[in-house]
Amino acid sequence: DGGITQSPKYLFRKEGQNVTLSCEQNLNHDAMYWYRQDPGQGLRLIYYSQIVNDFQKGDIAEGYSVSREKKESFPLTVTSAQKNPTAFYLCASSHPGTGEMSYTFGSGTRLTVV
């Protein structure tokens, strides 16, 4: 079955460390997105990519970096520059060319700074 997989489910990071969250999809979707979700908050867009080797900053990109070397993969690195990285991170993908826009989400990664 096609889907979008995030790993790991839980991640613990020491202050000052960089960590990378994985997002892989086998839906043949062109576009991929990273969102951050804090308790009681909505979804805030970190980065998005509409095509391989191209990506754009979202609303809260500071302290994060991404790459899109393959269509299937869109990893997110949380750098030491991110002052408050503890949050739930969601990856999504979509196929904008179909004319019927919707996102498919992964099951999320909960990052905790210890």
Partner 1 sequence: GQQLNQSPQSMFIQEGEDVSMNCTSSSIFNTWLWYKQEPGEGPVLLIALYKAGELTSNGRLTAQFGITRKDSFLNISASIPSDVGIYFCAGQEYSGGGADGLTFGKGTHLIIQP
Give the count of beta carbons closer than 10 Å to the beta carbon of residue 67. 15
Considering only CA atoms, give the Rg of the chain. Answer: 13
Rule CB under 8 A: is residue 33 a binding residue for partner 1?
yes
Measured CA angle at 41 (ends 11, 90), to 5 deg: 40
Cα distance between residue 68 and residue 44, in whole Å: 20
Q: Which stretch binds partner 1 (CB under 8 A): 12-20, 44-52, 67-75, 79-87?
A: 44-52
Give the count of beta carbons closer than 10 Å to the beta carbon of residue 28. 10
Rule CB under 8 A: is residue 87 a binding residue for partner 1?
no
Rule CB under 8 A: is residue 34 a binding residue for partner 1?
no
Total site size for partner 1, rule CB under 8 A: 28
Q: Which of 45, 52, 60, 61 binds partner 1 (CB under 8 A)?
A: 45
Write out the residues near partner 1 by the rule CB under 8 A: 6, 31, 33, 40-43, 45, 48, 50, 56, 58-59, 88, 90, 92, 94, 96, 100-108, 110
